Amino acid sequence: MKAILQRVLFASVTVEKEVVSSIGKGVLVFAAVAPGDTEKEADSLAAKWKKSVMDISGEVLCVSQFTLLASTKKGNKPDFHGAMGGEEAKRLYDYFFEKVQQGYAADKVKNGVFQAMMEVALVNDGPVTLELSAGQKPIPAPAPTPTPNQQ
DSSP for 90-144, written as a single string:
HHHHHHHHHHHHHHS-GGGEEE--TTS--EEEEEEEEEEEEEEESSPPPPPPPPP
pTM, 2 dp: 0.82
Active site residues: 67
Considering the chain, what is the average pLDDT of its residues? 86
Dihedral-angle region of residue 115 (phi above 0 means left; psi in -120 to 50 means alpha; beta otherwise) = left
Distance between CA atoms of residues 90 and 144, nearest Å? 41
Tell me the pLDDT tens digit for each residue of 106-148: 999 999 999 899 999 999 999 999 999 987 554 444 455 555 5
Dihedral-angle region of residue 126 (phi above 0 means left; psi in -120 to 50 means alpha; beta otherwise) = left
pLDDT at residue 43 above 60?
yes
Beta carbons of 96 and 62 less than 8 angstroms apart: yes
Distance between CA atoms of residues 54 and 51, nearest Å? 5
CATH: 3.50.80.10, 3.40.50.720, 3.40.50.1390, 1.20.120.1810. Which one for 2-131? 3.50.80.10
Per-residue model confidence (pLDDT) at position 67: 79
